[in-house]
């Protein structure tokens, strides 16, 4: 791995912004064919560093060498000329034209579309990308669009590919596919810089990792050797508090009772729910494990009331709610954190104050047909403070927040409603390691104060940490609950049965995945 | 189109002077005349014939008059303002060329007693609001006689803008003319409920042809009927303007409107200071209605007869609505030996026997 | 090189203030060139277009006559537009409102009743509600596109009007001409001052603007509609009924248009004729959008659109500039205004470099 000259070498890169040092004397190296992770929490300086490498931002100090030659002040155009390409988190494709036309737009010189189409097909085949050059981008899924972006970079024959949080928008299956592509690319000698805060992914994919915290390098490790805990400690800087799970007494009668719930699948990727029976008592946290797409979203919307099924038995504190719309259920004490934050859990173009009213209306943020702005602002500010949401304040638009911060806000909002029943899907998805453990503690505390909590999550570690009982939802069917103490990765993995519980990069064997 | 002069200067002379705009001084004895049209300016049709009326005034008075034309005033709300503005800006004679402008003119006229208002096809007269109107039926009767001579099937087709007396009457006269030379003649009639809707008119024309009509006439603001007849190789009669260019072979003749005498009478009244509100309603006699040159496809002897008929109608020897006339239900509406009274002509709302259609 | 249009996150106040000024300047320059090319004196023509129409009290009052229906309708429509409910058929709702009001005015047994106007107002409002309600019902019940339904209903309304004024409601003393009799005096709104045509409708427009502001900024229902418009799935998540949003969004526009129809027929018109509106229902859509669906913006937008109408007449009157040329100029003006608006809220970025 230690070649004579490394592909990319950074020495003492420093970037200061008023009041903050974004990058403080960062030194790292990447060899040809190496997949190198830049690991760190939000705000650790990852993105700034990548922009410096790509040339979108100039460093105040330090040196960048690419293939041994120092890069002075350079522009992104210059970078691309050298073979440095970057795939952003948000895509920049024209939806109304075809894949080939999109790619043609960033090619130099005159191009024959049919010839380009052939090149696209060849390159796609070589790396196992599923890209049809004639398809209109509008018809592509998010994962397919990302493949187009990557392919666009690949056509430039890059020597260094930078990916900024590429999996934040992908479904688990698509993540596996992405990793295969990246491995094939590395095998061909392309270096990859992989920015992430997801420990599992980094451990599954990367050969080496540089951990950043507050703009400084806190570790250079081989992620395959380090444990998740060790990596997390490097990222957060202190030993992480384990969630405290005080003993609890659960209510005799369940708060949520679901009997023989069946539901038709939503859309192409949905799964039919059959015969779900589930109880959640006050004082306990019940988890639902399993890979998304096995009925998770169907279950969540049936419980929240976004889909109505008057035929199934759903009871909240003994009252039938199966026929009630979401607002009526909310008024009875149900709170819900959906998987999608922007556009569902929050209105993107509305301020945090306005987004407080979205569900806070059940707690007096709307009264006598009027919106109570002062109360909503106070509520929003309190939530921002209590859950350390990084934002300019209650007036900031929801879409100005990072995914993790918005998740904290939505979770905080729902928790602040003091619900009788909290349903949370992927509660810590995209949230920093440190903040995630704080949020988990809050969820447990809520249950210990007498509420019923149902967590739907793909992350087994999370469920094992905070749940009193865990079901597995697979193929639209719910397994029997395994109590805390008896629940292990292996057992849950077995329950998942034939359905593969993919953890990123874990290959085909679920038991392998369960082992780490 | 550039008829007007810097009339707006009056209202804001001080501001204009301050901004250094050239201040144009008008000769004191120039008389300002306004015209308001409901439809856009056009090369043929109703508006064009009224534009010719204005031209006649300009030709006669030259620099002694100054003319302002405002087109495309579709709704009464706007019309009222435009008439007011024209009057307020010193126009002494204002023409309104569409029935729909009537109510606004009636509202504005009393506020400007010194201004003469002339309303074409109006029905209400005030001290300073006169009306003028053409006897379309005279021309349509003569056209009907020509059609009666030339039609092979004996079926005529009539497309009208609206089922108002000014159209219903001439439609009847068209058939009565045809029946005067062949008693079996019938006429299918369709109303578009629009003066200008070429697509709909084309559809209507084709439908009439499909029903067997071989002479078409359209009392609308287009040349569509004449053009369609030309395309389909049948005959037609034009209206308002001579539409020969739309159908050199098909157009037998056209009922041409020439408002010059009305415009000149009104203008001379205002120039001489003896204008009074009158009701002008004329046809062949004063030349307000004229027949376009007869097509050579009409035999020469028939052409001579038609020319003589024009003279007879002008002199009163022949009346298009002379009895006996029955309506579509067979009731006698005009007894033999009498003619339809003028008041009934101006409120025509029934169809004569042989007309197929409804007044919607 | 790839270019992309994206919304601006922050917009400086300077640019926001400057944009309309630039837009107007561009229009003035281009319009001046246009007029000059047609052989008209550019400066004087522009003066006649923008200043002359409102240089007198009468002119200003006419501006209100024209702006009031636009503002009333636009406030109603904006409520729906904010919720992504696209009522394109305000013209039809205005027509039905005017018909209903006239029906009461002409055929109510007590033609001298002091409350005749109030009944007509109510009838106009209900007429508009009913016409928009058809579209709301179809959308809520069958998911029919309200854009198409409201637009099509506009043509139906026009045909009903046409039938009434030529048929059953035709003025018996009107020589068969297509118009109804004049409304009785008790069914006409007197102008505020008989020298002008402005009626109490101007007070109603002010009321409508304030009511809209209150609804949008303060009411929970207004909030729900805004959520539904900005993020439909968030509205579903929160439990805000889509059906009630459809009903409210369409009915407010319908009521407003119906009331505007009443004010037209009881004010400047005094009777029904085949054409009773110069496209107020459609122009109000433009007003709502150049006003950014905000009450203050709608007020300014309504006055502005009214001014360019009057300006078009004014240059015809003053210079004999043909009507089509004034339309071109009006189109240019709207184009630059909307383009500058777009430029303020969006920017063009080079995708790869700037992120």
Query: Which residue in B41, B78, B162 is closest to C178 by CB distance?
Result: B162
Residue extents of the structural domains in chain A: 8-236, 254-333+419-515
Residue A285 has pLDDT above 60, yes or no: yes
For residue B5, what pLDDT is reported?
Answer: 37
Residue A490 has pLDDT above 80, yes or no: no
Tokens read off for B35: 């015209």
Residue A515 has pLDDT above 70, yes or no: no
Residues in a beta bridge with C3: C350
Q: Which residues contact B347 (CB under 8 A, 6 or more apart)?
A: B165, C175, C176
CATH 1.10.3470 fits C41-320, yes or no: yes
For residue C350, what pLDDT is reported?
Answer: 61
- The whole-angstrom separation of Cα A176 and Cα A502 is 8
B103 lies within 8 A of chain C by CB = yes
Say if residues B139 and B127 touch (Cβ distance below 8 Å). no
CA atoms within 13 A on the CB side of A51: 17
C226 lies within 8 A of chain A by CB = yes
User: Shortest Cα distance from A229 to chain C (angstroms)?
Assistant: 33
> Which of the residue ranges A70-74, B105-109, C297-301 would you say has the lowest mean pLDDT?
A70-74
pLDDT bucket at B26, cuts 50 / 70 / 90: very low
Give backbone dihedrals phi and psi of A263, rounded to 5 degrees, phi first.
-155, 145
Distances (CA, A) of B314 to B134, B174, B265, B319: 13, 17, 19, 9
> What CATH class does A8-236 carry?
alpha beta
> Which of the residue ranges A193-202, A239-248, C75-84 would you say has the lowest mean pLDDT?
A239-248
> How many other C-beta atoms can be found within 10 angstroms of the C-beta atom of residue C75?
31
Tokens read off for C69: 């229906």
Tokens read off for C302: 């309504």
> Cβ C9–A330 below 8 Å, yes or no?
no
> Cβ B2–C274 below 8 Å, yes or no?
no
> How many other C-beta atoms can be found within 10 angstroms of the C-beta atom of residue A464?
16
pLDDT, one tens digit per residue, over B201-250 is: 999 999 999 999 999 999 999 999 999 999 999 999 999 999 999 999 99
User: Shortest Cα distance from A359 to chain C (angstroms)?
Assistant: 6
Helices and strands (H and E) in chain C: how many = 13, 2
- The whole-angstrom separation of Cα A349 and Cα A343 is 9
B78 lies within 8 A of chain C by CB = yes
Say if residues C124 and C103 touch (Cβ distance below 8 Å). no
C348 lies within 8 A of chain A by CB = no
Q: Are strands B215-219 and B155-160 parallel, antiparallel or unpaired?
A: parallel
Is the model more confident about A170 or about C241? Answer: C241
- Burial state string for C306-341 with b = 16 or more CB within 10 A and e = fewer than 16: bbbbbbbbbbbbbbbbbbebbeebbebbbebbeebb
- The whole-angstrom separation of Cα A356 and Cα A412 is 10
Distance of CA C80 to the CA centre of its chain: 13
pLDDT, one tens digit per residue, over A398-417 is: 888 877 889 999 999 999 99
Mean pLDDT of chain B: 89
For residue B23, what pLDDT is reported?
Answer: 37
Q: Which residues contact B85 (CB under 8 A, 6 or more apart)?
A: C313, C314, C317
CATH 3.40.50.2300 residue spans of chain B: 7-134, 136-256+290-356
C7 lies within 8 A of chain A by CB = no
C234 lies within 8 A of chain A by CB = yes
Query: Which residue in B41, B76, B86 is closest to C273 by CB distance?
Result: B76
Say if residues A341 and A352 touch (Cβ distance below 8 Å). no
- The whole-angstrom separation of Cα C84 and Cα A126 is 45
Give backbone dihedrals phi and psi of C348, rounded to 5 degrees, phi first.
-100, 125
- The whole-angstrom separation of Cα C162 and Cα B162 is 10
* Contact residues on chain C for B21, CB-CB shorter than 8 A: 43-44, 47
> Cβ C44–B21 below 8 Å, yes or no?
yes
> Cβ B85–C317 below 8 Å, yes or no?
yes
Query: Which residue in B12, B21, B168 is closest to C55 by CB distance?
Result: B12
> Cβ C236–A306 below 8 Å, yes or no?
yes
> Cβ A306–C237 below 8 Å, yes or no?
yes
Tokens read off for C210: 């304030």
* Contact residues on chain A for C237, CB-CB shorter than 8 A: 304, 306, 326, 336, 338, 344-345, 358
Q: Which residues contact B353 (CB under 8 A, 6 or more apart)?
A: B325, B326, B327, B328, B330
Residues in a beta bridge with A366: A371
Residue A292 has pLDDT above 80, yes or no: no
Residue of B nearest to C312 (CA): B70
Residue of A nearest to C225 (CA): A358
Fold classification of B7-134 is Rossmann fold (3.40.50)
- The whole-angstrom separation of Cα B256 and Cα C315 is 32
* Contact residues on chain B for C54, CB-CB shorter than 8 A: none
* Superfamily designation of domain B136-256+290-356: Response regulator (3.40.50.2300)
Tokens read off for C85: 């409910």
Chains B and C touch (3+ CB pairs under 8 A): yes
C240 lies within 8 A of chain A by CB = yes
Average pLDDT over residues B54-60: 95
> Cβ B360–C174 below 8 Å, yes or no?
no
For residue C196, count CB atoms less than 10 angstroms from its CB and return exposed for 0-12, middle for 13-18, buried for 19 or more: middle
> How many other C-beta atoms can be found within 10 angstroms of the C-beta atom of residue C63?
20
> Cβ C219–A370 below 8 Å, yes or no?
yes
> Cβ C271–B103 below 8 Å, yes or no?
yes
Residue that is written with structure tokens 């951990």 in the block:
A211
C218 lies within 8 A of chain A by CB = yes
Say if residues A357 and A351 touch (Cβ distance below 8 Å). no
pLDDT, one tens digit per residue, over C185-228 is: 999 998 888 778 889 999 999 999 999 999 999 999 999 999 99
Residue B1 has pLDDT above 70, yes or no: no
For residue A501, what pLDDT is reported?
Answer: 37
- The whole-angstrom separation of Cα A286 and Cα A19 is 44
Nearest partner of C158 among C70, C92, C250, C104, judged by Cα: C92
Nearest partner of B89 among C52, A492, C332, C246, judged by Cα: C52
Which of helix, strand or coil describes residue A221? strand
B348 lies within 8 A of chain C by CB = yes
- The whole-angstrom separation of Cα C25 and Cα C27 is 5
> Cβ C2–A366 below 8 Å, yes or no?
no
Residues in a beta bridge with B280: B132
For residue C4, what pLDDT is reported?
Answer: 62
* Contact residues on chain C for B163, CB-CB shorter than 8 A: 166, 176
Assign residue B193 a region (left: φ > 0; alpha: ψ between -120 and 50; beta: otherwise). Answer: left
* Contact residues on chain A for C238, CB-CB shorter than 8 A: 326-327, 330, 358-359, 361
3-state secondary structure A182-198: HHHHHHCCCEEEEEECC
Q: ipTM of this model?
A: 0.80
Say if residues A218 and A44 touch (Cβ distance below 8 Å). no
CA atoms within 13 A on the CB side of B122: 24
Distance of CA B256 to the CA centre of its chain: 8
Say if residues C237 and A338 touch (Cβ distance below 8 Å). yes
User: Shortest Cα distance from A254 to chain C (angstroms)?
Assistant: 24
Say if residues B128 and B113 touch (Cβ distance below 8 Å). yes
User: Is cis: bond before B324, omega within 30 of 0?
Assistant: yes
* Contact residues on chain A for C233, CB-CB shorter than 8 A: 340, 343-344
For residue C193, what pLDDT is reported?
Answer: 81
Tokens read off for B143: 């056209």
Average pLDDT over residues C246-267: 96
Beta strands in C195-350 (DSSP E): 346-350
Q: Which residues contact A64 (CB under 8 A, 6 or more apart)?
A: A8, A9, A10, A11, A13, A52, A53, A70, A71
The answer to whether the A8-236 and A254-333+419-515 domains have the same CATH topology is yes
Say if residues C24 and C300 touch (Cβ distance below 8 Å). no
pLDDT, one tens digit per residue, over A332-364 is: 999 999 988 888 999 998 999 999 999 999 988
Residue that is written with structure tokens 């008008």 in the block:
B26
CATH 3.40.50.300 fits A254-333+419-515, yes or no: yes
For residue C266, what pLDDT is reported?
Answer: 94
User: Shortest Cα distance from C31 to chain A (angstroms)?
Assistant: 35
- The whole-angstrom separation of Cα A198 and Cα A191 is 20
- The whole-angstrom separation of Cα A243 and Cα A437 is 7
Say if residues B134 and B283 touch (Cβ distance below 8 Å). yes
pLDDT, one tens digit per residue, over C261-302 is: 999 999 989 999 888 998 899 999 989 988 888 999 899 989
- Burial state string for B79-107 with b = 16 or more CB within 10 A and e = fewer than 16: bbbbbbbbbbbebbbbbbbbbbbbbbbbb
Helices (H), A263-372: 296-304, 326-331, 352-360
For residue A4, what pLDDT is reported?
Answer: 59
Say if residues A172 and A137 touch (Cβ distance below 8 Å). no
For residue B278, what pLDDT is reported?
Answer: 93
Distance of CA A17 to the CA centre of its chain: 28
């Amino acid at each position: 791995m230690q070649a004579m000259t490394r592909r990319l070498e950074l020495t003492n890169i420093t970037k200061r912004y008023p009041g903050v040092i974004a990058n403080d004397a960062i030194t790292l190296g990447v060899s040809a064919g190496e997949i190198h992770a830049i690991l760190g929490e939000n705000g650790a300086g990852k993105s700034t560093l990548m922009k410096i490498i790509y040339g979108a931002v100039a460093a105040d100090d330090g040196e960048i060498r690419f293939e041994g030659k120092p890069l002075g002040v350079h522009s992104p155009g210059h970078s691309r000329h050298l073979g440095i390409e970057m795939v952003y988190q948000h895509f920049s494709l024209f939806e109304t034209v075809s894949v080939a036309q999109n790619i043609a737009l960033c090619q130099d010189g005159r191009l024959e579309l049919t010839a380009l189409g052939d090149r696209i097909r060849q390159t796609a085949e070589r790396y196992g990308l599923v890209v049809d050059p004639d398809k209109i981008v509008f018809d592509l899924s998010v994962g397919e669009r990302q493949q187009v972006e990557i392919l666009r970079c690949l056509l430039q024959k890059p020597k260094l590919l930078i990916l900024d949080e590429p999996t934040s928008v992908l479904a688990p299956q698509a993540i596996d596919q992405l990793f295969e592509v990246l491995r094939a690319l590395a095998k061909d000698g392309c270096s990859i810089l992989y920015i992430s805060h997801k420990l599992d992914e980094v451990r599954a994919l990367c050969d080496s990792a540089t951990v950043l915290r507050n703009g400084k390098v806190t570790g250079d490790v081989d992620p395959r050797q380090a444990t998740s805990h060790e990596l997390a400690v490097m990222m957060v800087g202190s030993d992480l508090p384990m969630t405290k799970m005080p003993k609890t007494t659960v209510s005799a009668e369940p708060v949520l009772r679901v009997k023989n719930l069946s539901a038709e699948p939503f859309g192409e990727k949905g799964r039919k729910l059959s015969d779900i029976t589930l109880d959640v008592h006050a004082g306990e946290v019940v988890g639902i494990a399993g890979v998304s797409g096995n009925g998770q979203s169907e279950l969540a919307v049936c419980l929240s009331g976004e889909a109505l099924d008057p035929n199934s038995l759903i009871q909240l504190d003994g009252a039938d709610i199966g026929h009630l719309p979401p607002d009526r259920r909310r008024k009875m004490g149900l709170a819900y954190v959906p998987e999608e934050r922007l556009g569902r859990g929050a209105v993107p173009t509305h301020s945090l104050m306005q987004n407080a009213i979205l569900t806070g209306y059940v707690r007096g943020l709307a009264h006598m047909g009027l919106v109570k702005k002062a109360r909503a602002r106070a509520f929003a500010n309190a939530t921002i403070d209590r859950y350390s949401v990084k934002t300019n304040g209650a007036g900031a638009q929801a879409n100005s927040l990072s995914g993790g911060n918005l998740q904290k806000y939505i979770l905080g909002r729902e928790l602040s409603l003091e619900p009788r029943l909290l349903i949370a899907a992927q509660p810590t998805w995209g949230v920093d390691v440190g903040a995630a453990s704080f949020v988990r503690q809050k969820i447990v505390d809520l249950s210990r104060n007498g509420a019923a909590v149902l967590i739907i999550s793909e992350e087994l570690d999370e469920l094992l940490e905070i749940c009193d009982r865990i079901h597995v939802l697979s193929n639209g069917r719910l397994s029997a609950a395994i109590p805390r103490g008896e629940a292990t990765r292996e057992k849950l993995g077995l329950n998942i049965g034939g359905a593969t519980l993919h953890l990123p990069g874990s290959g085909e064997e679920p038991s392998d995945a369960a082992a780490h | 189109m550039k008829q007007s002069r810097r009339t707006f200067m009056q209202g804001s002379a001080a501001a204009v002077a301050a901004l250094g705009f050239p201040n144009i001084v008008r000769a004191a004895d120039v008389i300002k005349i306004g015209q308001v049209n409901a439809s856009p300016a056009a090369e043929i049709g109703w508006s064009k014939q009224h534009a010719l009326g204005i031209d006649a005034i300009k030709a006669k008075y030259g620099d002694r008059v100054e003319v302002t034309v405002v087109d495309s005033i579709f709704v009464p709300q706007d019309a009222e303002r435009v008439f007011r503005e024209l009057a307020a800006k010193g126009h002494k004679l204002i023409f309104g060329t569409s029935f729909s402008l009537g109510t606004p003119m009636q509202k504005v006229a009393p506020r400007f007693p010194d201004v003469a208002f002339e309303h074409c096809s109006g029905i209400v007269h005030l001290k300073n609001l006169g009306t003028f109107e053409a006897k379309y039926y005279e021309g349509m009767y003569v056209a009907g006689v020509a059609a009666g001579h030339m039609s092979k099937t004996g079926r005529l087709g009539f497309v009208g803008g609206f089922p108002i007396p000014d159209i219903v009457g001439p439609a009847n006269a068209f058939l009565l003319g045809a029946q005067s030379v062949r008693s079996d003649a019938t006429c299918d009639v369709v109303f578009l409920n629009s003066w200008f809707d070429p697509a709909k008119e084309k559809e209507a024309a084709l439908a009439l042809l499909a029903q067997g009509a071989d002479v078409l006439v359209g009392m609308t603001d287009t040349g569509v009927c004449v053009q369609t007849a030309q395309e389909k190789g049948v005959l037609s009669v034009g209206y308002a303007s001579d539409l020969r260019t739309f159908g050199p072979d098909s157009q037998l003749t056209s009922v041409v409107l020439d408002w010059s005498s009305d415009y000149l009478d009104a203008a001379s009244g205002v120039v001489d200071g003896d204008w009074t509100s009158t009701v002008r309603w004329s046809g062949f006699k004063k030349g307000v209605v004229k027949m376009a040159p007869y097509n050579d496809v009409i035999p020469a002897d028939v052409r001579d007869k038609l020319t003589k008929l024009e003279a007879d109608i002008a002199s009163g020897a022949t009346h298009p609505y002379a009895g006996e006339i029955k309506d579509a239900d067979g009731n006698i509406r005009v007894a033999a030996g009498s003619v339809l009274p003028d008041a009934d002509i101006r409120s025509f709302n029934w169809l004569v026997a042989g007309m197929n259609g409804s007044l919607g | 090189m790839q270019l992309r249009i994206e919304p601006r996150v922050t917009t400086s106040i300077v640019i926001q203030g400057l944009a309309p000024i630039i837009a107007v300047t561009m229009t003035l320059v281009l319009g001046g060139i246009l007029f000059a090319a047609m052989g008209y004196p550019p400066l004087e023509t522009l003066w006649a277009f923008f200043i002359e129409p409102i240089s007198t009290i009468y002119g200003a009052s006419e501006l209100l006559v024209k702006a009031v229906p636009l503002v009333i309708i636009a406030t109603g429509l904006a409520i729906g537009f904010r919720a992504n409910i696209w009522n394109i058929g305000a013209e039809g709702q205005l027509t039905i409102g005017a018909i209903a009001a006239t029906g009461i005015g002409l055929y109510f047994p007590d033609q001298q009743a002091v409350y005749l106007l109030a009944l007509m107002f109510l009838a106009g409002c209900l007429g508009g509600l009913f016409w928009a309600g058809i579209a709301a019902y179809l959308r809520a019940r069958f998911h029919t596109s309200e854009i198409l339904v409201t637009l099509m209903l506009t043509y139906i309304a026009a045909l009903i009007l046409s039938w009434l004024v030529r048929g059953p409601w035709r003025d018996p003393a009107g020589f068969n001409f297509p118009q109804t009799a004049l409304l009785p005096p008790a069914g006409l709104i007197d102008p505020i001052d008989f020298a002008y045509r402005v009626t109490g409708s101007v007070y109603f427009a002010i009321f409508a603007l304030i009511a809209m502001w209150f609804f949008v900024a303060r009411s929970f229902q207004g909030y729900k509609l805004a959520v539904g418009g900005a993020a439909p799935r968030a509205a579903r998540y929160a439990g805000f009924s889509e059906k009630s949003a459809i009903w409210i969004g369409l009915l407010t526009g319908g009521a407003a248009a119906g009331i505007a129809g009443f004010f037209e027929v009881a004010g400047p018109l005094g009777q029904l004729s085949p054409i009773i509106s110069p496209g107020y229902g459609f122009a109000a859509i433009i007003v709502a959008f150049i006003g950014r669906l905000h009450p203050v913006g709608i007020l300014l937008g309504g006055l502005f659109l009214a001014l360019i109408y009057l300006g078009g007449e004014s240059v015809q009157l003053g210079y004999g500039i043909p009507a089509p040329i004034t339309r071109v100029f009006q189109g240019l003006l709207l184009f630059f205004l909307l383009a500058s608006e777009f430029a303020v809220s969006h920017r063009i970025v080079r995708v790869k470099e700037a992120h």
